[in-house]
A and B are shown apart, each in its own frame.
Chain A
């Protein structure tokens, strides 16, 4: 029998109570949130529970939400895949600034570089990571470039001002605009 989303929700809710929330089907992927305190255990359960068996970590990444409240400034997104049943799942955990969450390198070896990338670009600290240092940017860098407050280009430039091209600025740029 195929792995039903209702079963996943029931199984996790029974074990983690209110620490897992906002279950919903987002297009073709079942998604939910877990609190940062329980995310490691939730992923461990998803991986090791034989009835769930999400044994493959497809992707792990960070997202910055500067418009959110203080407790939801960052999100770490985990995309897991059960190859036997061919079911994908997405788990998110929201973090305040400064962001800190337990590493899952003990569960998936591939999480190592993914977490280093999230640290490098967003400054999300993964507690217990064996080698949390920059990976794609240079070591001397002090900013976390994928955060929304860092513009792609020099903010002093006027020759590429969107207003002169009749375009609507990006929402995040409108909010932080100094123009």
Chain B
């Protein structure tokens, strides 16, 4: 009896005790995680197994919970931004921009078109890296390491673009209330153009490597399917929902940051299985590339931030040379800027679903309550149902295809 792992009163322990077979065989318990290489993050699943078949699962989360919402209640707006990019570190700029847009909505700030377009570019780059990691890791979990190594270099290239824009690579902390700190340098555009030339070739090869690969198809088709109705019930959003056949995309439903100016389609799947999720992400990467090209082609000239000195943190060179800028700098850093009493919800299409910020302010320098609607946290509940009845090896690929980011799951 597997009482080494669970206390005897645990429901699995009871099930094992009651279902001892005549031939002496019994169900067993397997801990998938918390630090299993295939979980890609720290969360645990206690699996009830009949041989290699999964009968039930009990997920345990919270291993890296950092109380971001409580911390946010004690910080002014600028200091909250560094919390957001640590949630989904695969696509940090999307989280950054989502937070700035929430604050701008609260303060009624109109962002100039150029800044909006630049935001779109950086958000789509982030989406590409997010999908790139998810799909290449799914390849690794099915035994194909090559694809991962091949496309992973392009994540580094995107990081070089981030570095050129804001100085950071992973936890970007990009932007300001009202736009960007400074305009992008010519080198940033140069790197972006090189990326747009080189990456599609590699991505096409990556697709070819997997989409008609017999082993990959055997491992993913009809594995972990979820119906459209169940997906809605479980709160799935993003590519996981679209793979089930529902074309809900926040960029289309409630456009933000000028997404209405760009033409793109929302790829949808049919069966909601692991293969569909993979294909939807692949297709979304092409759409993202198309959006970036359109944004670059139509990029307007003009200011890169709104004229809101009360909220826009001045550039450092101004702070050192201009008295006004120094005063605003201190007022903003100390959180002594006027904040209206209000209640808003703002959502963006994150790398893996609807990322929402529900913000309540009471006029003080910090939020009264800030709730992060973290897509991973909400849809990870569906994982138990998706792996029930499948093999252990299926549980691994389903987890990969869901793209659960531990930092976002726990926040």
Same complex: yes
Q: Which residues of B contact A121 (CB under 8 A)?
A: 69
Q: Which residues of B contact A57 (CB under 8 A)?
A: 235
The yes or no answer to B342 lying at the interface (CB within 8 A) is yes
Which residue from B70, B253, B358 sits with its C-beta under 8 Å from A152?
B70
Shortest CB-to-CB span from A141 to chain B, Å, is: 11
Shortest CB-to-CB span from B48 to chain A, Å, is: 16
Give the CA-CA distance A86 to B347 in the complex, in Å. Answer: 13
From B156-164, B271-279, B366-374, B391-399, the one touching the partner chain is: B366-374
> Are the C-beta atoms of A109 and B234 separated by less than 8 Å?
yes
> Are the C-beta atoms of A113 and B67 separated by less than 8 Å?
no
Q: Which residues of B contact A61 (CB under 8 A)?
A: 358, 369, 371
The yes or no answer to A21 lying at the interface (CB within 8 A) is no
Do A136 and B62 contact each other (CB < 8 Å), given the known contacts A109-B381, A171-B364?
A: yes
The yes or no answer to B233 lying at the interface (CB within 8 A) is yes
How many residues of chain B are within 8 Å of chain A by beta carbon?
48
Q: Which residues of B contact A55 (CB under 8 A)?
A: 232
Do A108 and B235 contact each other (CB < 8 Å), given the known contacts A58-B356, A113-B377?
A: yes
CB within 8 Å of B: which residues of A?
26-27, 29, 31, 55-59, 61, 63, 77, 79, 83, 86, 88, 90, 108-110, 112-114, 117, 121, 134-138, 145-146, 152, 165-168, 170-172
Do A167 and B356 contact each other (CB < 8 Å), given the known contacts A114-B378, A136-B65, A136-B410?
A: no
> Are the C-beta atoms of A166 and B334 separated by less than 8 Å?
yes
Which residue from A26, A77, A110 sits with its C-beta under 8 Å from B344?
A26
The yes or no answer to B354 lying at the interface (CB within 8 A) is yes
> Are the C-beta atoms of A170 and B62 separated by less than 8 Å?
no
Do A90 and B345 contact each other (CB < 8 Å), given the known contacts A108-B235, A152-B70, A167-B365?
A: yes
> Are the C-beta atoms of A168 and B336 separated by less than 8 Å?
yes
Which residue from A63, A108, A145, A165 sits with its C-beta under 8 Å from B70?
A145
Q: Which residues of A contact B222 (CB under 8 A)?
A: none
> Are the C-beta atoms of A79 and B234 separated by less than 8 Å?
no
> Are the C-beta atoms of B345 and A29 separated by less than 8 Å?
yes
The yes or no answer to B362 lying at the interface (CB within 8 A) is yes
> Are the C-beta atoms of A56 and B232 separated by less than 8 Å?
yes
Shortest CB-to-CB span from B132 to chain A, Å, is: 28
Shortest CB-to-CB span from B404 to chain A, Å, is: 13
> Are the C-beta atoms of B105 and A136 separated by less than 8 Å?
no
The yes or no answer to B360 lying at the interface (CB within 8 A) is yes
26 A-B contact pairs sorted by A residue (CB < 8 Å): A27-B105, A27-B343, A29-B345, A56-B235, A58-B235, A58-B347, A59-B358, A108-B233, A109-B235, A109-B381, A109-B382, A110-B233, A110-B378, A113-B378, A113-B381, A136-B62, A136-B65, A152-B71, A165-B334, A166-B334, A167-B335, A167-B336, A167-B365, A170-B364, A171-B362, A172-B364
